[in-house]
Amino acid sequence: MQNSNRRIFDSLVSRTKIYLVLIFILLVVICVLKPILIIPAILLFIIIMLYTFFANNRRKSEISQHLQELTLNVNSAAKNSLIHSPFPLIILETDGNIIWRSTRYVSEFANEDMSSYIEDLLKEINKKIEEQDGKEKNIKEQIKIGNNNYKVIGEFIQSGRLDRNKDKYMMILYFIDETEEIKLQKEYEDSQNCVGIIMVDNYEETMLQIDAEERPQVIAEMEKIIYEWANKIDGILVKSDRDRFVYIFDHKYLSTIKEERFVILDTIKEINSSIQITLSIAISDDGSTNKEKYKTAQAAMDVILGRGGDQAAIRENEKYQFFGGRTTEFEKRTKVKARIVAHALEELISETDNIMIMGHNNPDIDALGSALGIYRLAKSKGKEVHIVAETEGMALKAISESLKSDGQYTGVIVNNEIAENIITPETLLIIVDTNKASHVEDPILLEKTNKIAIIDHHRRSTDFIKESILTFQEVYASSAAELVTELLQYAESQPKLTTLEAEALYAGIMMDTKNFTFKTGVRTFEAAAYLRRYGIDIIKVKKWFQSDLETYKKITEIIDKTEIIKDYIGISIYENDDKNSNIICAKAADEMLTIGDITTSFVIGRTGEKVNISGRSIGEINVQLILEKLGGGGHSTLAGAQLEGKTIQEAKEELIQKINEYFDEEKG
């Protein structure tokens, strides 16, 4: 208020000075024209000055009195507002000293011991004041007192007693009861719909393998289980196709479904038939309308099928929560799809002049072999083709030397910098051996083209590349090399592989199947037989996988430090900061499974700022589900993960925690 008074007074004085100057100038002019008027002019100016002085003083006095009365009225109104506030109100200091409480505060909290609530509230407020260094003056906190929920708002200023404690602040806090509002909000949210899709996996193939006389009975029993599960929470279930159901229910039952952990996935397998029946269930709460929720449920179903089916996913706030998916994968694909994809890929290649092929970062021989197979398909169409890959690492050292000695691949394999310069929006970018946007060799390339195709055999992650115009993802395949080999067989152009390209594809299959012992099916051996026709040198391929003596010693040291948990899970650490850490850890995890009684292995190592975890399994444990909890992925028998900002020991503790969670969920 004092500042306001000063501004008004300064304004008055400024205007008066201007008037006096103008009068003085006029009198000077008059005196110049009529010198006889000099003395009267001086007397007149003195009289004007005296009048102005007394008039200003009287005006200042009147304004000051008016402002004082106004200040008293405002202060009185403010005090009345505080005293008779409709909200509970308290004035206190940050050290807990309570200066004043409103009558509403005293009456509303008469039956509550407020000391503990205030103490907890002050801890949060002091923490915020310290973090913001007193810059943010507003306070907003949520607190529950008794059965009611309150929003606490207010402001703080430094306490007047600065000589004693410079860090002390005084606050005026209002307690606004939001109990009814929160209750109404919850009722509204609970009344919203969740939309789900239930699908019988591979319905056609499953029904063909069941005897005709048993089929109606199996279908009836299967539908009975599905309807009974849906009716438990008053949901609406509509059969939209032979193998598909649409499921709508209130949001309030979503937590019940989560707690139950989709026991229907196990129940459906108990149907007495000649083949195991499995379900895929996608539920979505994402979207403002039922139509949008149905679309996001369809997207969730695509993710589930990309992960192999036989599981459930709940999508909320664009995040996924997965359940099930613990059974061993078995082949459920047909050659028809491979033929269709091969023709579609050929059409895309024919329509584009510039082709670029890219695998995952830290590429292995499966990624490079697959890329070389697609390279040959595109070259058979007379297109310009480049492979984006870093081939200098341990994993590709041997095959890289073979490629360099063969002159036809000069300039074909390029680094990220060159790729970013030659790619255009019309370039066809073909991704092999990964579906994760964050795991490709160069993520920038994904943003520079509108045409992306994916060929992958890993389970689909939540970070999958959504912009693809063609996706060939078969989690039942042994490797990306197997999928590419199938595409080459069914391509209309009938491309002829070079011996080196056939050897690279064969090596990719060998690597991911561990010499045809893991995750092999009829199609795996058919692909291998096709490649053998090109006269590949098996001894040469096997030499590509040989470890040098130094690497073998490192693997032996890792295995020597193995710690056994749960009687059959081996965990070890590779402590050296090695650029080839991921390769050494993967080889050590493979080797660990040759030890009796160990059916699951994990090896942890470091590469720069990242901690790598390689997981392998030959038992019932699904390492993909465990490492997925750490942001990784892969297959039930072979998976990996990368952690940032963790020490190796912290990564080990977190891994053990996720293993325990896996077993707890299995019991639940």
Secondary structure percentages of the chain, helix, strand, coil, to 5:
50, 20, 30
CATH class of the domain comprising 89-185: alpha beta
Kind plus residue range of the DSSP H or E element containing 193: strand 193-200
- On the 0-12 / 13-18 / 19+ scale of CB atoms within 10 A, 37 is middle
Delimit the domains of the chain by residue range.
Answer: 2-83, 89-185, 192-324, 335-544, 549-667
| Domain spanning 549-667: CATH 3.10.310.30 | yes
Q: Is the pLDDT of residue 327 over 60?
A: no
* CB count in 10 Å sphere of residue 88: 23
pLDDT given at position 1:
46
Q: Using only the alpha carbons of the chain, give its radius of gyration.
A: 38
pLDDT given at position 9:
45
Two structure tokens written together for 588: 């050590």
Q: Tens of pLDDT along 365-417?
A: 999 999 999 999 999 999 999 999 987 777 788 888 888 888 888 889 999 99
Q: How many helices (H) and strands (E) does the chain have?
A: 22, 23
The CATH classification number of 335-544 equals 3.90.1640.10
Kind plus residue range of the DSSP H or E element containing 174: strand 169-177
Order the strands of the 193-200 sheet from edge to edge: 236-241, 244-250, 193-200, 279-284, 311-316, 319-324
Q: What is the arithmetic mean of pLDDT over 334-351?
A: 85
**Homologous superfamily of the 192-324 domain (CATH):** Reverse transcriptase/Diguanylate cyclase domain (3.30.70.270)
pLDDT band at 112 (very low <50, low <70, confident <90, very high): confident
Q: What is the arithmetic mean of pLDDT over 497-507?
A: 94
Q: Is the pLDDT of residue 275 over 60?
A: yes
- Distance CA(181)–CA(142), nearest Å, equals 13
* Helical spans, DSSP H, in 491-628: 499-513, 522-532, 538-544, 549-560, 581-592, 623-628
Q: Tens of pLDDT along 207-262?
A: 888 888 888 898 999 999 999 999 888 889 999 999 999 999 999 999 888 888 89
pLDDT given at position 444:
93
- Distance CA(540)–CA(504), nearest Å, equals 10
Q: What is the arithmetic mean of pLDDT over 68-91?
A: 66
In this prediction, what percent of the chain has a pLDDT beyond 90?
A: 33
Q: What is the DSSP string of 92-120?
A: EETTS-EEEE-HHHHHHTTTS-HHHHHHH
Q: Is the pLDDT of residue 442 over 80?
A: yes
pLDDT given at position 448:
92
- Distance CA(429)–CA(451), nearest Å, equals 6
Q: What is the arithmetic mean of pLDDT over 416-423?
A: 93
- Distance CA(136)–CA(142), nearest Å, equals 18
pLDDT given at position 161:
47
- Distance CA(353)–CA(58), nearest Å, equals 92
Q: Tens of pLDDT along 142-170?
A: 888 888 999 998 877 766 544 445 566 77
Closest CA to 439 of 472, 416, 465: 465
Q: Are 513 and 524 in contact (CB under 8 A)?
A: yes
Q: Which residues contact 35 (CB under 8 A, 6 or more apart)?
A: none
- On the 0-12 / 13-18 / 19+ scale of CB atoms within 10 A, 627 is buried
Q: What is the arithmetic mean of pLDDT over 494-507?
A: 93
Q: Which residues contact 37 (CB under 8 A, 6 or more apart)?
A: 30, 31
Q: What angle do CA 268, 274, 280 make, to 5 degrees?
A: 30
Q: Tens of pLDDT along 1-41?
A: 445 444 544 554 556 677 777 777 877 878 877 777 777 77
* 285 vs 62, residue with greater confidence: 285
pLDDT given at position 136:
58
Q: What is the arithmetic mean of pLDDT over 100-108?
A: 84
Q: Is the pLDDT of residue 551 over 80?
A: yes
- Distance CA(363)–CA(663), nearest Å, equals 32
Q: What is the arithmetic mean of pLDDT over 355-374?
A: 92
Under DSSP, the state recorded for 360 is: B
Q: 89-185 with 192-324: one CATH topology?
A: no
Q: What is the arithmetic mean of pLDDT over 586-601?
A: 89
